[in-house]
Structure 1
Amino acid sequence: MSDLHATVAPTPSGFHITGTETITYTFTFQDSIFSSSAPQLAKIYTPFSRCFLIADATIIHLYGAQISSYFSTHGIALTVHETRIGEKAKTMETMLGICEAMTRFGVLRKEPVLVVGGGLVTDVAGFACAAYRRTTPYIRIPTTLIGLIDASVSIKVGVNHGAHKNRLGAYHAPLHTFLDFTFLRSLPEAQVRNGFAELIKISTCADLRVFELLEQHCEDLIKHKFGRAEGAREELRQAADEVNRRGIERMLQLETPNLHEIMLDRVIAFGHTWSPTLELAPKVPLRHGHAISVDMAFSTTLALVKGMMGVEEHQRILRLFSRAGLSMDHPLLTEELLKKGTEAILKTRDGKLRAAMPVPLGGCTFLNDVTEKEMGEALRKHKEVCMAFPRNGEGIDAYVDASDTGEGMAQMVGTVGEKAGGLMDKIGKMGGQLLGARQTVEHLPN
């Protein structure tokens, strides 16, 4: 009870309550988290003798046998709830399916749920844990670059609602986050590129050293999975580790004093002013990294047009986006979309634009005073500038595909029923029955 504090003060018409609650959570860098030489995770679940795991189809296919063996070695019964997830399935329906699975399992009030997967999975499963009995602890193991260096840092969880990204959600800190960069070995290059955008975000606005390292190693970081791919040079591995650790630490330093976003001027919201409107606008959604890259690139051009940034710095930032194969422009980035996005973000940011700008490079300035005329002028300038870059500023593999949702993996290993049966055989004497839901497949041991 020592971490809970509150005062109750009488007022002429009633009472005024002020309460505080300490939020504590831990990050641990641990490569090969599911190897026998890494007992940290097992120690958490040993008192319960069981573990309820939420993961997507790709993770189960690639790592199911290893995860099962890990828990079996430590005498811990494993239950797997498999969920298919993408931006279009990041919904309340998916979240409630997870809650129903938690009920069937019988999750105890203080029993931590284990969530393994990319940012989409951790967002939705984290929201389910926030809502279930009003709060259920969970442990997060992100498996994508965007999950490792961005989604893992925030305590925000949620789902999309209608055409609105992350409109419903909560603030719910995980009990523990394990950062295992060896997952990048099996990550498609397109998704490594997707996460690279978040590192450009934090470096341009908050850490010039990281930006310089990204410039120095851009193509190799993406190609060699941040030094985790077979044959990657030790120099690259060391540079990647510095980039990741500095980037995560800097985001934590910026976010933790403002976990519930009471202060709305947020440095790490660079690239998140118009991107929430753009990301879901195409029939096939943009990958998150590409959506924020368009936003960031346009924002730098807006800063150029307003005289806040010089041509050299503007070109330097855009060159890094281009080299990384990230989107700088999109046909749906129009004056109409900018107007719609501005109207939406003004509601989120309490009537002010609060657009983070990398001014100076490695630092941040917030822009509030911008007219529609200036945005239109900046947009025309931006599209003209992008024409001088490869692909006219279009990104490589910019749109969500089957690898983001697990559907591609499902096609590789057969129908859902066949996959479940095959997985049961593969991960060894686990036994079980198949419980179906529209968004999920659940494997429960006997």
Structure 2
Amino acid sequence: MTTVSVRLKTANYDILVGPGLLAGMGDRLTELGFSGRLVLVADSTVKQLYGEKLAQSLSAAGFTVTTLAGPESEEEKTLETAARLYQELTDSFVERATPILAMGGGVTGDVAGFVAATYLRGVPLVHIPTTLLAQADSSLGGKTGVDHGHLKNKIGAFYQPRLTVSDTSTLKSLPPRMFSEGLAEVIKHAAIRDKEFFSYLENNLDRILALDDDTLETMVTRSTEIKAAVVEQDERDLGLRNILNYGHTTGHAIESVSNFRVGHGQAVAFGMLAAAGISHRMGYLDSTAISRLQRLLERAGLMTEMPELDPDRIIRAMQHDKKIVEGRVRFVLLHEIGDVFVTNTVSPSLVKEVLVNRL
């Protein structure tokens, strides 16, 4: 097991990474000072896969668990789902000291985290991410929220957990497609901040795809460390943290225009490649770096071709991006692998050229 400590102005907490950690959840929560009652939010698949193992650990530590149904898909990442959970918490007489355990993927973490942040003005939150996307990215950093119409994460709050436990054994039950989606965020962290980690992924991707325990722990830990270091410097997403949106300007627009038929990781993968193409056409990035990125994304089973969507609609959707400033879309671009910068000088015509003519 590896521990990554996060130290913020508003909160300090640990992220535990390694195989077999669910079996010790009861003891971990006791060490944090919790006792008595807990609320578990998880979807039906996660409950079926891991509910019994978690329940055994919590019961052995003396906890009583109230289980609530989490969102089953992105389509349920809504205020309506949050309202249902508020009502169920109220009906169950949940108090302010009762922690919510958000167990599952990014959608569950976002919604349950938002509910924890806002119910009774805030109850304790513990993340138990079970997908690679959640372990490597979405459960880290305190962002919670729901979608509004076709706009991702339009309503939300910053809310830090008391603890995050990433049991890498859960990654072995993921469908290959879902595992690949998580790899997009891992590759993103390497591309923006750590060229040595990028090389590690290139050299060890076969072991990663074979779900080797040690390699999975190393990969998730390093991805966690990269994001945690950025968040520690910019918790509220006012400056440096913008670099974590590499690939997301185009990626979120693709998700929106496709009505979320294109998954988050796949959309971000193409978004990263599009941003690399823009970087190259603006004279910042050499073609060798683009080739390395494209090859790694392809090997990881990720999308490197423009989906069959109207590029003009994608560009219009970018105008609704949460991080738009004075009507100008911000892009994260590459100088080289491991070195990025943020700019709002990318013209819509250049974006369309890259989308239409590929890279």
TM-score normalised to structure 1 length: 0.74
CA contact (8 A) 1:206 1:250 kept: yes
CA contact (8 A) 1:160 1:167 kept: yes
Tell me if 1:253 matches 2:229. yes
For residues 269 and 356 of structure 2, the distance between their equivalents in structure 1, rounded to whole angstroms, comes to 17
Q: 1:377 aligns with which of 332, 339, 353?
A: 353
Give the unaligned 5+ runs of structure 2: 1-7
CA contact (8 A) 1:53 1:80 kept: yes
Give the deviation of 1:38 after TM superposition. 7.0
1:341 equivalent in structure 2: 317
Q: 2:128 aligns with which of 133, 141, 160?
A: 141
- Aligned-residue identity in percent: 28
CA RMSD of aligned residues (A): 2.2
Q: 1:328 aligns with which of 293, 304, 321?
A: 304
The amino acid across from 1:114 in the alignment is: L
Q: 1:356 aligns with which of 307, 332, 344?
A: 332
For residues 251 and 59 of structure 1, the distance between their equivalents in structure 2, rounded to whole angstroms, comes to 25
Shift in alpha-carbon separation, 1:244–1:283, aligned structure 2, 3 A: closer
Give the deviation of 1:21 after TM superposition. 6.6
1:390 equivalent in structure 2: none
Give the secondary-structure state (helix, strand or coil) at the position aligned to 2:339: coil
Shift in alpha-carbon separation, 1:258–1:268, aligned structure 2, 3 A: same
The amino acid across from 2:195 in the alignment is: L
1:303 equivalent in structure 2: 279
Give the deviation of 1:214 after TM superposition. 1.1
The amino acid across from 1:147 in the alignment is: A
| More moved, 128-137 vs 23-32 | 23-32
2:99 equivalent in structure 1: 112
Aligned length: 352
For residues 72 and 252 of structure 1, the distance between their equivalents in structure 2, rounded to whole angstroms, comes to 32
Give the secondary-structure state (helix, strand or coil) at the position aligned to 1:353: coil
2:119 equivalent in structure 1: 132
5 Å matches for 1:22-421? 22-35=10-23, 39-44=27-32, 47-222=34-209, 224-225=210-211, 227-228=212-213, 237=214, 239-263=215-239, 266-283=242-259, 285-345=261-321, 348-382=324-358, 385=359
Which of structures 1 and 2 has the larger relative contact order (alpha carbons within 8 angstroms, sep 6+)? Answer: 1
For residues 21 and 257 of structure 1, the distance between their equivalents in structure 2, rounded to whole angstroms, comes to 10
Give the deviation of 1:192 after TM superposition. 0.9
Larger Rg: 1
Shift in alpha-carbon separation, 1:110–1:372, aligned structure 2, 3 A: same
Give the secondary-structure state (helix, strand or coil) at the position aligned to 2:304: coil
For residues 310 and 38 of structure 1, the distance between their equivalents in structure 2, rounded to whole angstroms, comes to 51
The amino acid across from 2:42 in the alignment is: A
The amino acid across from 1:132 in the alignment is: Y
TM-score normalised to structure 2 length: 0.91
Give per-residue Cα distances to partners, 1:331-387, cap 9 Å, x unaligned. 3454303421332237634544331122211111223222233223323331xx5xx
Give the secondary-structure state (helix, strand or coil) at the position aligned to 1:174: coil
Give the deviation of 1:64 after TM superposition. 2.0
Give the deviation of 1:22 after TM superposition. 3.1
| More moved, 96-105 vs 28-37 | 28-37
Give per-residue Cα distances to partners, 1:20-58, cap 9 Å, x unaligned. 97322322235323325972134447x532222111101
For residues 168 and 346 of structure 1, the distance between their equivalents in structure 2, rounded to whole angstroms, comes to 10
